[in-house]
Structure formats: C-alpha cells, structure tokens
Structure 1
Amino acid sequence: MSNFLSIATVSTTLRRLLQDAVQQDVTGATATTLRPDAPAGQLPNPGVNLFMYQVTPNSAWINADLPTRSSSGALIQRPVIALDLHYLLTFYGSDANLEPQRVLGSALRTLHARPIITAAMIQATLDAAEVEDPQHFLLGSNLGDDVERVKLTPLPLSLEELSKLWSVLFQTPYSLSVAYVGTVVLLESEQAPQRALPVRVRHISAVPFRRALIERIVDIDPANPLPESIEINDIVELQGSQLDGSVSLVRVGEAQLQPIPDSVRADRMRLLLTDPALRAGIQGVQVRYQDGSESNVAALILRPQIVVDQPAVTSGELPIDFDPVVSRSQRVTVYLNEHNPPANRAPFAYSFEAPEANGIDDPTVATTNRILFAMAGVEPGDYLVRVQVGGAESLLGVDAGGSYNQPLVSVP
C-alpha cells in the first residue's frame, strides 16, 4: 500500500509521460499540471495540460480493508482507502496550424500504448525529482511498492458533460479536451494496529451440536402464590431442555452462581440467589458449560425486599432499607397508596423518585442499602409502601383475608 504522496506521484508521472511524447511529435510542445483557467501565459502553447478535477472511491476495493477495528474500537489492521483519479487533458496551440489536434493525437496514442503506470516509470519520476531538487516533496513516495498498478482508461464524456465542466468549474472558453480515469490508488494509514500475542498451543475439541434452552424460571417455594415473584435468598428452578452437562457457571446479571449440587437435570436445575453481586431488577440468566457452549439468555425479575422502620413520617423524608443493595446508577421509585380509604372518594396515590445517584454522595462508593425519599404534598393518612428498582417492584404483605396490609407508613 502507498502513502499520501501517491496521488501527486501519479499526476507527475503522467505529466512526464505526456511531456516525453508530445515534445517529440510537435515542436516546442510541453505538458503542464495547471488549472484550465490559469493565465494564458502559464498554459502550454503548444502542449497539453493535465488537471485532476475529481476523485471517487473505487467500487471494487472500497471494502477490501474491512474490518479495520474490533468490537471494542481497537485498530486491528491499517485502514486503506481506494481511489479513482479523474483527469481532464486539455490541448493548446495554434488552431491555424492544428497544433491542439496534433498534440491530442500524440497524447492519445501514447496513453493507449502505455495505459499502465509501472514501477519503473514511478522510479524514473522520483529519480528526476531528486536531480531537480534533493529535497523534492515527492521523494518520500512509495507508490512503486503498491500491490496494484494505476491503469489509465479514457472516459467518454458527452458534449453536455464537457460544457458543464467548463462552464461551472472553470468559467473560461472551451478548449479541446478529453477525460481519463486512473484506477486504482490505495492510500494506507500510518496508524499501527494492536497485535495480540501469538497462539502458543492449539486445542481442538469436537462436541455434539446442542443448545441448552431455558424456558421458564420459577420460585420453588410452594407457599408462593406467584412462582415468578422472586426475591433475594430464594431458591429458583430453571426449567427447559438439554440443561444437563458440565456446568461451569450460571450468570445472573453480574453475579456468577453455581447450581445446587445434584440439582442439574436435562429439564431443570436449581440456584440459590445469595451472591452479593446480585441486584434487583430485570436480570439476564445464562448457563455456561465447560465445553464453551451457552444457553439462551432468559429474563429473571428479581424483586427488591424493603424495610420501612419509621412508622410515621414527620420530617418530609421517608427512609427505606433495601436488600439487595442498590447501585448508584439504578432507577428507584417509591409508590404510596392510601390504606383503607373512605368509600366516598378515590384513594390517594403518590410516587417519588430517589435522589440523584440514589443519595450516594461519595464517588468512590458504588452501592447503598438505604435511601431517603423526599416527600411533599402528601395528604395525612396511612399508606402502603412499594418500591420499583430497575423495573422490578417489591411485594406487599397480605393479611388473613387476602388484603394488602404491609409495609405501612403513617403521614400525620
């Protein structure tokens, strides 16, 4: 691949190729690389002017360098951009002596006979540049080492396209012109990719094609009327198919658990939810096996447990203790529903968000088990208290008659 000097190297090499041809065929003819609207005294007379008016991505090579980065954004190979160079060749001289047409014939014959810019042509250009100036800007070019050679092809521009090119870009009277495209120039970034250590030992193992499937996660407590209502310290059962095997771990959110010994079966396994890394909310559950295979990810709603140890709120703040602990980034909301409201009106209901960072002021602390909720505008009365953490709500207690009765807080 080549560096940023390659485009200028192509233009200079092409100019030298045309210069050598037209000066032999037409007396006094030269080749330049100026804008067509340059002052008349600077343009060749007679001769040919080479102007690159457009650069486009090469459709064949545009994705050849992908992927250049890993999923983490780290560079894994040097990016390469593939370009096509569009040139306008304009011919000048005395129309009375047909010099533009004679130079045109010389240039087109040469480009048809030598349509490829070879490594030898590039090296000759660099050698001539060094003779001209030992500090010439092209001396750092490495186009000659490119894996692809630049090939020149005439472009059949219509009269309308040529007229637009001259009237819009140059705004100068039209001169005899033809268009060529040079393809392809590969420009490589100088960024060095990160290389991983080589593989020292290769291990290849064959395992039967299988996929463990978790279909349902339930609490095994027979007294729980809602099997999907799961709290910390509960024993849960993963139900599905092909769950047996050498289990490495079961990931629940950020926690890594081991199944209860002797509970692993083809259609079920059990877990004790006691890891300190567990968090309330909607958590993904996935079984990982020692052979590297994994189950699907199933959803588990781990409900928070709360303790309201202040039966009456007199300060405008309601303290609530949580199990498991709450992280500073989790969204926590408390809900108050009036308990035993009078029959002649609708019950009062309120919700309050936790303070910023769930009240954790120390930036080095990640979790808390207690949050103070600021309350305002609450009518006096007794209220049932619920919280929602990460989309999972705490459960309410019920009395013998099946009515919700706790936890309660009184607002005087």
Structure 2
Amino acid sequence: MSANAIAAVTAALRNLLSDGVKVEAGLEDTIVTTLPMDRARDASGSGNQLNVFLYQTTPNAAWRNLSMPGQVQSLESGFPPLALNLYYLITAWGRDNDAQSPFSHFLLGRAMSVMHDHPLLGSDEIRLALPGNDAYLQMERIRFSLQPLSVEDIFKLWSGFQTQYRLSASYEASVVLIESARSARTPLPVLMRGTGDTGPVALARLDPGLPTLQSITPPNQQSGAQIGDVVTIAGTLLAGDKVEVVFAHPALQNPIRVPAGQGATATRIDVQLDTAQFAWVAGWYAVTVEITSTPDQPNPPVHSTNALPMALAPTITSPMPLKATIANGAATVKLKCSPDVQPVQRVALLLGDQEIAGARSANATGSLSFPVPQAVAGTYLVRLRVDGVDSLLVDRSVKPPVFRNQKVVFK
C-alpha cells in the first residue's frame, strides 16, 4: 500500500459519517469536514457540522515484524510494512450553535451510532473515497473502535490548539499498512534436497551428525591463551583429508589458518599459537574448523564447524617490576608487550583496581605509555588489557595458584 493510505482511510471515514448521519430526520444539512480543531468551525458557521481530525498515529505492535501478506513467500525475508494505528477525534457542532435545541448532542449520538453499527471499512468504501489510492487492496480489514479519553487527555489535546472544547468522541482505526520501498530477498528455489531429492535424514544418535566444536581449552586452566601456548580443541567428526583451524579477529583483514598437526583425531586437535608463521593480535577470536574431503579434486566440498570464542591474552615483556617516578603527583608507566597493539584496538592498564585508558596509536606498536594523573607511592599488581582481554596475572601451573611477578613500583 502506498503512502496515501492514511488519506484514504480519513476520506472513507468522512464519507461513512456523511452518508450515515444525513439519513436521520433533522440532520439532512450536516456537513462533514476534516480540518484541524482550531480551524474546523469559523465564526460564520451556524449549521450542523461534524469534524474528523486525525490527532495521532502510533505503530501497530502486532504487525511490526511481519512481512506484507501476499508479497513475501515462504523462506523469503521481506522488510516489514509501516503498520499504523490512527486516532481520530470526531467533534460535533449543532444548528445555531445549540441555541434552540441541543443539535450537537443529537448529531454526535447519531455519528457514534453509525460507527458502532459499521466498525469495519469495506474495500469499495476505501477505493471510492480517494481516487488513485490502493489501501483497499490490503488483506487486513480496517476496524474502528471507541477510545475514551480522560479529562486530562482532553484538556491537553484542546489546549494545545488554543481553542475551546466542543463535544467530541475519539476512535482508533487499526491497522493501516504502508508498504516498504525496500525490496525483499528472494533466493533461488532448491533443485534437489540431497541424493534422490529425499530431503534430510534423521539419525538416532547423540552427536549432532555434523562437524561440531565443543570446547577450546588453554593450558593450565588459564582464562586465556598466550603466544606460544598449545590450545586443545575438542569436538566431534573433526577428521578429514585436510583439516584447518581458522582464527578470525576483527583487527585482522584475513583470518589465520593453522593446519591440524599429525596427532589430530576426530575428537581432538592440538594447535600451537606460533608467531614464526602467523601474525597474531591480542583479543577475542572466533575459532572454527574447516574440513575438506578429497582436496585434490576440483571444487571439493568444505565442511565448517560452529564457531567458539577464544581469548588471546597480551604479554608484558618488560623486565619486572616496572618502575615509575612520581613528579607533581603524576607518573607515567611505560612497558613493552607482545603481540603488537593494532591502531583499531582499545588498550588499558589495570593498576590494582583502577583502569587507565591508553591513547590509540597511528601504527601497530609494542611500546605503550600510560599517564597516571594521581599516582601514590607504593607497589601495585598490574595487568594489560587489550580489547577486553587481560594479560595473565595468575600462574595456575602451580598448586595453589600464585600471582605472577607482574608489578609496578611508584617512587
């Protein structure tokens, strides 16, 4: 439906009231207008009059995420239409401004009776109300329902137009659908679903039947891996003629692909994070495994597993403890780290329980500097945080775990 659907509904409501009210004896001279409330009744007006004013539009919650009926087929993704509820104020003025008889009461009563007996707009009523509209084509019927207003709402509505209150009734029209100008995604039909077009086959088994990752475990129960560590990837159906572990990071233009070693099995792959062959960055990685059967054939099928997160922690490579001199209450902590911090990465120094954000560098760098505006003399445990991943402060290779010698001394 086009954008003139709102105007078409307003015109159809005006015609409905005009035709329904004038059949009543004594109301044959009634006119129906669609003007703002402050302009609906001029000083010279003295006849019976109804005014239909659209005072509010709100989104329709039920249709907010639905595709336009009849336009989007199954498995296609169309952009939802603009679904609106319209709120109208119907105001009545009587003949001679009710000087001889309360015609406005009579007129409003007849109008509300018409709305009560005719709660749905027919397609022909909408089509004939406004030339060129296509609102009558929508599959959802447009329904009117009485919406009582509180005294406070009435005061706000009329005072906003700086005009005197007149006898009125409010109605909701639901729902008006305006078609989105964005096109739907229409994938090509499927030629065959499996061998012989049999479709999917259900198997009675506990594993999912597809290559699946279950866990990624750094050594020594660490919270994250470090450069040089061997991480263990556990899953099912991970064996193949060619198996690669894919590490994707937002700061890397291309993901890192590490071939599975000789000891890889269908349920376990051990991968070393080696810097000799690959340029790693600290932060969170999305890890998948790609399995290729018959890689020597043209266009071999590649099966990819689900993705699991892995944290690669930065390492402070400067000799410990770090030392910083306090001057005028401030100090600067300088350190070196591995791997280099990329320009797009957020870096911070965790000094005890205080986070000190570092400035972004224009180039990748392993030398960082952190100004500490209110430094206090003492020794503090320190961590480096890159994109939400902290350098490993706890040594879990011993029992019980201990803090590493990762400190800064302020003097």
Question: What is the TM-score with the length of structure 2 in the denominator?
Answer: 0.60
Which of the numbers 277, 290, 294 marks the counterpart of 2:279?
277
Provide the rounded CA distance (Å) in 2 between the counterparts of 1:11 and 1:188. 18
Aligned-partner residue type, residue 81 of structure 1: A
Query: 1:71 maps to which residue?
Result: none
Q: Structure 1: any 5+ residue segments left out of the alignment?
A: 67-74, 128-138, 220-225, 336-348, 397-405, 408-412
CA contact (8 A) 1:111 1:152 kept: yes
1:27 Cα deviation (Å)? Answer: 4.0
1:30-55, Cα deviation, whole Å (9 max, x unpaired): 22234556545355612333333444
Identity of aligned residues (%): 20
Provide the rounded CA distance (Å) in 1 between the counterparts of 2:54 and 2:350. 68
1:389-408, Cα deviation, whole Å (9 max, x unpaired): 63215999xxxxxxxxx99x
Residues 292-371 of structure 1: matches in 2 within 5 Å? 292-294=304-306, 296-297=308-309, 299-304=310-315, 306=317, 322-328=337-343, 329-331=345-347, 333=349, 356-357=359-360, 360=361, 363=362, 365=363, 367-370=364-367
Aligned-partner residue type, residue 180 of structure 1: Y
CA contact (8 A) 1:304 1:389 kept: no
Provide the rounded CA distance (Å) in 1 between the counterparts of 2:113 and 2:54. 20
Aligned-partner residue type, residue 292 of structure 1: S
CA contact (8 A) 2:347 2:358 kept: no
Query: 1:232 maps to which residue?
Result: 227
Query: 1:251 maps to which residue?
Result: 247
CA contact (8 A) 2:287 2:307 kept: yes
SS of 1:208's equivalent in the other structure is coil
1:9 Cα deviation (Å)? Answer: 2.7
Query: 1:186 maps to which residue?
Result: 177
1:325 Cα deviation (Å)? Answer: 2.8
Residues 40-55 of structure 1: matches in 2 within 5 Å? 41=43, 43=45, 45-55=47-57
Shift in alpha-carbon separation, 1:238–1:252, aligned structure 2, 3 A: farther
SS of 1:12's equivalent in the other structure is helix
Shift in alpha-carbon separation, 1:228–1:269, aligned structure 2, 3 A: farther
Provide the rounded CA distance (Å) in 2 between the counterparts of 1:280 and 1:164. 59
Q: Structure 2: any 5+ residue segments left out of the alignment?
A: 69-76, 195-199, 201-207, 292-302, 325-330, 396-404, 407-411
**2:125 matches 1:121:** yes
SS of 1:277's equivalent in the other structure is coil
Count of residues in correspondence between the two structures: 343
Residues 51-130 of structure 1: matches in 2 within 5 Å? 51-64=53-66, 77-93=79-95, 95=98, 96=100, 99-100=103-104, 103-104=107-108, 107-108=111-112, 110-112=114-116, 114-127=118-131
Provide the rounded CA distance (Å) in 1 between the counterparts of 2:46 and 2:337. 86
1:211 Cα deviation (Å)? Answer: 4.2
1:271 Cα deviation (Å)? Answer: 1.4
Question: What is the TM-score with the length of structure 1 in the denominator?
Answer: 0.60
Shift in alpha-carbon separation, 1:89–1:263, aligned structure 2, 3 A: same
Shift in alpha-carbon separation, 1:164–1:93, aligned structure 2, 3 A: farther
1:83 Cα deviation (Å)? Answer: 1.0
SS of 2:304's equivalent in the other structure is coil
CA contact (8 A) 2:57 2:84 kept: no
Provide the rounded CA distance (Å) in 1 between the counterparts of 2:219 and 2:154. 76
Aligned-partner residue type, residue 48 of structure 1: L
Shift in alpha-carbon separation, 1:238–1:87, aligned structure 2, 3 A: same
Provide the rounded CA distance (Å) in 1 between the counterparts of 2:128 and 2:333. 85
